[in-house]
């Protein structure tokens, strides 16, 4: 079986819509612990306008902190960039993996970027090329790949057209994002198989939301379809502010727990992630959607003592 990679996006997709600003020192604490858990990649933030997304205003400072030797493990540090300006900022402060994407939904694409799907995809492909040329890793994703809160169903051909543009730009890691939470297990299998047929060597990445209760389910079907990169958020925090029914990301510790129950990636320190999720619930002063942070792990449960 191929190696599975966990990509923590809680510090970006998880908290970006939270009204309470998370202070830099708390972000550093959470990131330090998450990196120490042995997950594979952590998204520290996004290079976006601070006036539009104040929660992401200290992304440079976070990268400077961890770039100066503050990184306690092997996790790669990634950031989201939306445009050339963001890419430029990220290039200057030690981003190892650039995450970027464009939407397969015309409405969602225009709402996010002012551009239609085709134009936005070409722009992302050009940005990806530039980052790759500079020796950076890139994940390029197709947003609203499984359906759109405005448009409803999104044709698979639209998704595959965008993926082709990414592959032609030299991208190796291709993501499909279920921005609105519309994906169903059959569709997940079919769409990832279609992407794999475009380039059997591509690394497949998935990003699901729980709007209709299928986040974990879709991850498990993605796993069965050959996906090896999983973007999730500790505590199940998050949701896209631009979609109609915002709802949480797949919860990191719930997915790690599920996979470890099947014998996958038992090296990851689940208890560390659970502790961060509980800390986040205390910080935000509310119950978070994650399950395992409440039940505790049964990964190695062998019966009562």
User: What residues make contact with a copy of itself under the rule CB under 8 A?
Assistant: 147-148, 150-153, 182, 184-187, 210-214, 216-217, 220-221, 245, 247, 251, 254, 257-258, 261-262, 291-292, 295, 298, 301-304
Query: Cβ 221 to a copy of itself, closest distance in Å?
Result: 7
In the bound state with a copy of itself, the residue whose beta carbon lies nearer, of 23 and 153, is 153
* 91, two tokens: 């290039």
Q: Is 220 a catalytic residue?
A: no
Smallest distance, a copy of itself to C-beta of residue 206, A? 14
Give me the catalytic one of 99, 148, 219, 240: 240
Sequence-ordered list of residues with C-beta below 8 angstroms from that of 128, at least 6 positions apart, any chain? 98, 100, 138, 140, 166, 169, 170, 171
* Least spacing, CB of residue 147 vs a copy of itself, in Å: 8
- Kindly provide the b/e burial profile for residues 280-304, where b requires at least 16 CB atoms within 10 angstroms of the residue's own CB: bbebbeeebbbebbeeebebeeeee
Q: How far is CA 263 from the centre of its chain?
A: 23
Closest Cα to residue 11, out of 58, 46, 44, 53?
Answer: 44
Q: Which is nearer to a copy of itself, 27 or 257 (CB)?
A: 257
Of 170, 178, 179, 224, nearest in space to 202 by CA: 170
Q: Which residues, other chains included, contact 260 with Cβ-Cβ below 8 Å and sequence gap of 6+?
A: 266, 268, 270, 297, 299
In angstroms, give the least distance from the CB of 260 to a copy of itself.
Answer: 9
| 3-state helix, strand and coil shares in percent for the chain, rounded to the nearest 5 | 45, 15, 40
Using CA atoms, how far apart are residues 80 and 134, in angstroms rounded to an integer? 17
Report, in Å, the least distance between residue 116 CB and a copy of itself. 16
Minimum CB distance to a copy of itself smaller for 72 or for 226:
226
Contact 295, 274 (CB under 8 A): no
CA distance 107 to 118: 12
CA gap 61, 234 in Å, rounded: 21
With respect to a copy of itself, which residue has the nearer C-beta, 57 or 220? 220
Alpha-carbon gap, residue 194 to 196, rounded angstroms: 5
170 φψ region: left (φ > 0), alpha (ψ -120 to 50), beta (else): left
CB-wise, 59 or 260, nearer to a copy of itself?
Answer: 260
What's the min distance (Å) between Cβ of 269 and a copy of itself? 18
Between 201 and 213, CB nearer to a copy of itself: 213
Tokens 């400077």 found at = 64
Residues assigned a catalytic role: 240
């Amino acid at each position: 079986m191929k190696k599975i990679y966990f990509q923590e996006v809680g510090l970006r997709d998880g908290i970006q819509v939270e009204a309470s600003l998370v202070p830099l020192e708390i972000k550093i604490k959470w990131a330090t612990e998450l990196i120490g858990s042995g997950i594979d990649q952590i998204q520290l933030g996004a290079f976006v306008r601070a006036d539009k997304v104040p929660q992401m205003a200290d992304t440079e400072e976070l990268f400077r902190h961890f770039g100066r030797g503050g990184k306690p493990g092997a996790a790669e540090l990634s950031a989201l960039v939306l445009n050339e300006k963001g890419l430029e900022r990220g290039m200057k402060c030690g981003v190892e993996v650039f995450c970027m994407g464009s939407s397969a939904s015309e409405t969602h694409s225009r709402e996010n970027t002012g551009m239609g799907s085709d134009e936005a995809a070409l722009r992302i492909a050009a940005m990806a090329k530039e980052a790759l040329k500079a020796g950076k890793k890139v994940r390029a994703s197709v947003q609203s790949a499984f359906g759109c809160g405005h448009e409803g169903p999104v044709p698979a051909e639209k998704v595959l057209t965008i993926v082709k543009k990414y592959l032609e730009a030299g991208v190796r890691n291709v993501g499909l994002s279920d921005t609105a939470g519309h994906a169903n297990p059959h569709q997940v299998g079919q769409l990832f198989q279609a992407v794999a047929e475009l380039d059997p060597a591509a690394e497949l990445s998935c990003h699901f939301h729980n709007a209709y209760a299928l986040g974990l389910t879709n991850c498990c079907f993605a796993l069965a379809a050959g996906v090896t990169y999983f973007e999730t958020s500790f505590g199940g925090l998050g949701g896209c502010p631009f979609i109609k029914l915002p709802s949480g990301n797949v919860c990191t510790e719930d997915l790690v727990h599920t996979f470890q129950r099947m014998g996958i990636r038992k090296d990851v320190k689940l208890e560390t992630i659970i502790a961060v999720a509980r800390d986040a619930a205390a910080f935000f002063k509310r119950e978070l959607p994650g399950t395992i942070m409440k039940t505790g792990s049964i990964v190695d449960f062998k019966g009562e003592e």
